[in-house]
Amino acid sequence: MTFSSHGIGISTTRQVAIGAAFLLQRGPLDIAPRLIPEEMVEAEVERFRKALNTARDRLRAVRQHLPTGTAEDISSFIDTHLLMLDDSAISQAPIELIRTHQYAAEWALQRRRNELVRVFDEMDDPYLRTRRDDVEHVVGQIQIALQQGTGRDEAPSDLTNHIVVARDLTPADIIMLKNRGVIAFVTEYGGPLSHTAILARSLGIAAVLGVHHASQLLRSGETLIVDGEAGVVLADPTREILQHYQQRIIAQAAREAELRRNLDLPAITRDGQRILLLANIELPEDITATLANRADGVGLFRTEFLYMNRTTPPSEEEQLETYLSAVHGLNGAPLTIRTLDLGADKTIECSDPNCPPSNNPALGLRAIRLCLKEPDLFLPQLRAILRASAEGQVRLMIPMLSCIAELQETLALLEQTKQELSREGLRFNATMPVGGMIEIPAAAIAAASFARQLDFLSIGTNDLIQYTLAVDRMDESVNYLFDPLHPSVLQLIQMTIHAANNAGIPISMCGEMAGDPLFTQLLLGMGLRELSMQPGALLETRQVVRASDLPRLTRQAQAFLQQMHSKPAATLFAELFH
C-alpha cells in the first residue's frame, strides 16, 4: 500500500523523481560528555587537529571535483566552510576546552558548537540564521573525521538513480551524492531558506525537506517518489501512481529541453510587452549565474552576507571593492544594492551590552531601523554604494521602511554623504536612483507617500506576508498559514503597484513569490513588469512571460481580485489561471 509523508517541497525545473531509497546515517550525532586523563591531553589536541585537517582535505577535494557548470554559489558555500574551519571559534576554542577542562575532543567541539548555535538561534534575520546551518555542517565534518573507523555509514560510490534519505545533509554531501548519481533528497530537517534548499534549487534536483521521522518511516531499497512541487514523498507506490509520476517525468524532461532552447529569447509577452527579469544575489560571485540565466540585471543584492562570519563590519573600501566587482561583472546592467537588513538583536548586544535583548526580534530593531540608529555601521555602506555608483548603473534600495520619517532620515544621510564625498573629491552618481522595499503592511498602505519621494519601489513578499498574516516565516509549525494568495496580501500588493504607477516610478517584486512561476501570470495581470528572483528561476519565468497575453491576464487578475473575498483564493486561482 502506498505510504505518503509530507514536508517542504523544493523544486525547479525537475519537480519529480522516482528511485530506490538509500538511508544515509548522517546528521546530528549523539555526543556524550567525556573526560580524558591529564596525560592524554596533548594527544587529544593532536587528534582534534588531525580531524580538522581531514575535514579540510575532504572539503577541498569536493571543491576540486565540482562538475563544470556548477553554480558559483555552491563553490562559495564550500569556501565559506573552509574559512570557518580555520576560524579560531571552531579551530582553537575546542583546543582550549581540551586543555583547561580535559574534555574529549568530540565533547569539546560539541560544547563549542552549542554556544555558537545558541547565538545564531537568537537571531531574527533568516539569512543570518542560515549561518547556523553552516556551523552545524562544519562541526559535523570534523565530528565525522573524529569518529572515523567507528562504523558510521558512508555512501557507496555508485548511487545512480537513488534517492537519499537523511536526517540532514551538508552542502558538501549534496554535491558528492549528486556526483554519485543521486537524483533526489529527503531530509528530516531544513526549511525553504536553508542551504540544503538553496543547493537543491541551484542544482535543479527535486527535494523534500522537513519530513519528520523520514529515516524511521522509510526503508533502504524501497521505491520512492519525491514530488518537490507538492512536498510529498510516496513510498511503495501502486502501479497507477507510478505511471502517473512517470508521465510527469517525461513531461518534465520535455519542458527542460524547451527552456534551454529559449535561453536567448527575450522576455516579451505575446502582445509585445518587455518584462524585466532580474536576479536576487548575495555575493558578487552570483553574477555568474545571473548572466548564465540571462537576467536583465540584479534586482536585489542582499548585502548582509558581507557582514557574516566576522566580528567587525566590512570597511568602506572593502565594500566598495565588492560592489565594484558586481558592477563590472554586470557589464552595464543595473545593480540594486539593498542596504543592510541585519537582525537587530545581535547588533544591540555588540553596541550596547546593557540593552535588553528583544523579546520579539522580527518586530524589533532590524534593517533600516538599526542602520539609522547605528550611523557608524550605516555611513560606510552609504559611502561605498555611492562611490560604486560612479562606475555603473547602481541603485540603492532601503529595506523595511515603515514610515516616512525613516525615509526622510535616510535621504538626509544620503545627502550629507554626497556632500562629504564631493568635499573629498570622490566620484559618485549624483542622481543615483534610490528605492524602497515595501514589506511592512503600513508601508503598502502608505505606498503613495513613499512613491512620491522615491525613484522605485520593490515589494518584499517574504516579509510582507509574514507581517500581514502574523506568520513567522521561520516557524515550521505555522508555515501552512504563509499564503501569498491571501486576499489581504494581494490587496496590499495591488495598492503598492497602483501607488507606483500613479507616481510614474518603476515597481518590482523581489520576494520568493516573484520567482515562483505559479504566480507569474497573476503578478503580470496585476500590473508588475519587473520581477526579481534567484537566478535558477529565471528560465522558467521567462517561458511563462513569453506565453502570456497581458490584456487577457489583466482581465483574469481583475476578476480574481474582485471575487477573492467570496471564494477560497486557491480554488479561484486554479479556476482562473490554470
**Active centre residues (catalytic):** 195, 510
Centroid of chain to Cα 100: 39
Q: Is 125 annotated as a binding residue?
A: no
Asked if 242 contacts 31 with a C-beta cutoff of 8 angstroms, the reply is no
Partner that binds at residue 228, options Mg ion, ligand PEP, none, CB closer than 5 to 8 Å by kind: none
Report in angstroms how near the CB of residue 359 gets to ligand PEP at its nearest. 20
286 or 463: CB nearest Mg ion: 463
Asked if 338 contacts 302 with a C-beta cutoff of 8 angstroms, the reply is yes
Partner that binds at residue 299, options Mg ion, ligand PEP, none, CB closer than 5 to 8 Å by kind: none
Asked if 545 contacts 269 with a C-beta cutoff of 8 angstroms, the reply is yes
Q: Is 338 annotated as a binding residue?
A: yes
Q: Distance between CA atoms of 126 and 512, rounded to whole angstroms?
A: 13
Partner that binds at residue 461, options ligand PEP, Mg ion, none, CB closer than 5 to 8 Å by kind: ligand PEP
513 or 561: CB nearest Mg ion: 513
Report in angstroms how near the CB of residue 494 gets to ligand PEP at its nearest. 17
Q: Is 318 annotated as a binding residue?
A: no
Pairing, β 298-302 against β 276-281: parallel
The DSSP-derived string for 469-529 is HT--TT-GGGGGG--TT-HHHHHHHHHHHHHHHHHT--EEE-SGGGG-HHHHHHHHHTT--
The DSSP code for 126 is: H
Partner that binds at residue 302, options Mg ion, ligand PEP, none, CB closer than 5 to 8 Å by kind: ligand PEP
| Beta-carbon count within 10 A of 117 CB | 15
Q: Is 383 annotated as a binding residue?
A: no
Q: Is 310 annotated as a binding residue?
A: no
User: Which helix (H) or strand (E) element contains residue 301?
Assistant: strand 298-302
Partner that binds at residue 231, options Mg ion, ligand PEP, none, CB closer than 5 to 8 Å by kind: none
Report in angstroms how near the CB of residue 338 gets to ligand PEP at its nearest. 8
Q: Distance between CA atoms of 130 and 137, rounded to whole angstroms?
A: 11
Report in angstroms how near the CB of residue 390 gets to ligand PEP at its nearest. 26
Report in angstroms how near the CB of residue 464 gets to Mg ion at its nearest. 8
Q: Which residues bind Mg ion (CB under 5 A)?
A: 439, 460, 463
Q: Distance between CA atoms of 48 and 443, rounded to whole angstroms?
A: 52
Asked if 495 contacts 445 with a C-beta cutoff of 8 angstroms, the reply is yes
125 or 134: CB nearest Mg ion: 125
Q: Which residues bind ligand PEP (CB under 6 A)?
A: 300, 302, 341, 439, 460-463, 510-511
Asked if 281 contacts 537 with a C-beta cutoff of 8 angstroms, the reply is no
128 or 226: CB nearest ligand PEP: 128
Q: Is 463 annotated as a binding residue?
A: yes
462 or 543: CB nearest ligand PEP: 462
Binding site for Mg(2+), by residue number, is: 439, 463
Binding site for phosphoenolpyruvate, by residue number, is: 302, 338, 462-463, 473
Binding site, by residue number, is: 302, 338, 439, 462-463, 473
